[in-house]
Amino acid sequence: MAELGVNAELELRDDMSVKKIKSYCRSCGQDTNHGVLSEHTESYREEYVCDYVYQIVECLGCETKSFREVFEDMESAYHIHDDEWEVPTRIDVYPKFIKGHRNLDGDYYLPDLVGRIYREVILAFQEDALVLAGLGLRGTVEAVCNDLGITGRNLEARISKLATAGSISRKDAERLHGIRFMGNDAAHEIKKPKKEHLSVALKIVEHLLSSVYILEEEVEGRIETTISDFEKFEPLLKKKVKLQNPSDELPLAAILGKDIRRVKESVASFETELLAKIAAGEITYLTSGKLDKYQGSKNDLQHYIIV
């Protein structure tokens, strides 16, 4: 039996012999049934009457392990009915958790500094250091702006620029200003935010991190999205050029084919930059060709010669 894993031991025991309790599971994000793998009680009966119960428990759903410290305060017990007494109990579960919060999936995609500040916010929140958590959420937004190269005289201006640059929506910017207010209150007035307000603020910041970094990485190569900057346009162009025959002379729409829909809103600015890079010798797999109609087009189109 000693060589068996914990799960195998639980399976071999009779159901009646496994002590089961309700406890919060940080993976499931709610109170679930747990099996008590190990338990030790220390009783005090001299200066103060109380018990400390130490338990190693396992969620019977996802098998996540936790350590519980249960403090039973017999000294403060009170009578509730006939010979029944209520014993005040305090329960601490480790690792610490934020109730109702699930860890951000894909946080390994975050830039080092952004990820480090975000994880420190989580630690501060778990330890009930709410002023520090409020400051940290504001700091996370600042770190995102720094990483994206968003400048401005203050965070208010930088958040607005995040929206105008297209990194976030206007609605997201409005929410981030709320994070700014909370951080300012924590920094200048040493005002402790309410836990429920901080929980909402954490969701807003995690939405920012997910949309700017995590979804960007997960979508890449899996779902076709629109392209709005030349750095992402050029790899697509190179890929499409390789499908053409050398010396072919075609407009951009013909080279890109169906993928022209991905750059439709930015195609004019892309062509301007493309021609400039060809002229400067920075792009050598294409040369500029004639300006002519193509397959009955109403307007003349810039053609490119495949090298």
Cα angle 102-100-212, degrees, rounded to a multiple of 5: 40
pLDDT at 13 over 60: no
Kindly report the average pLDDT of the chain as a whole number.
86
With bands split at pLDDT 50, 70 and 90, how would you rate the model's confidence at 219? low
How far is residue 285's CA from residue 237's CA, in Å, rounded to a whole number?
10
Residue 214 pLDDT: 85
How far is residue 163's CA from residue 176's CA, in Å, rounded to a whole number?
11
With bands split at pLDDT 50, 70 and 90, how would you rate the model's confidence at 2? very low
Whole-number percent of the chain with pLDDT over 90: 37
Query: Which residues on adjacent β-strands are paired with residue 92?
Result: 69
How far is residue 152's CA from residue 177's CA, in Å, rounded to a whole number?
14
With bands split at pLDDT 50, 70 and 90, how would you rate the model's confidence at 306? very high
- Point out the least confidently predicted range of 64-68, 82-86, 230-234, 256-260: 82-86
With bands split at pLDDT 50, 70 and 90, how would you rate the model's confidence at 166? confident
Long-range CB pairs of 191-196 (<8 Å, 24+ gap) are: 191/131, 192/130, 192/131, 192/134, 193/130, 193/131, 193/133, 193/134, 195/130
Average pLDDT on 82-92 reads 85
Residue 303 pLDDT: 93
With bands split at pLDDT 50, 70 and 90, how would you rate the model's confidence at 223? low
pLDDT at 189 over 60: yes
pLDDT at 5 over 70: no
Residue 16 pLDDT: 55
Based on the number of CB atoms within 10 Å of its own CB, is 185 exposed (0-12), middle (13-18) or buried (19 or more)? middle
Helix (H) or strand (E) holding 122: helix 112-126
Q: Please give the model's pTM, rounded to 2 decimal places.
A: 0.62
Q: What is the pLDDT of residues 152-162, one digit of tens each?
A: 888 889 898 88
Residue 220 pLDDT: 65
Residue 6 pLDDT: 46
pLDDT at 14 over 60: no
Residue 121 pLDDT: 93
Residue 59 pLDDT: 93
Q: What is the pLDDT of residues 39-84, one digit of tens each?
A: 999 998 888 889 999 999 999 989 999 999 999 988 888 888 877 8
Q: Cis bond leading into 251, ω under 30°?
A: no
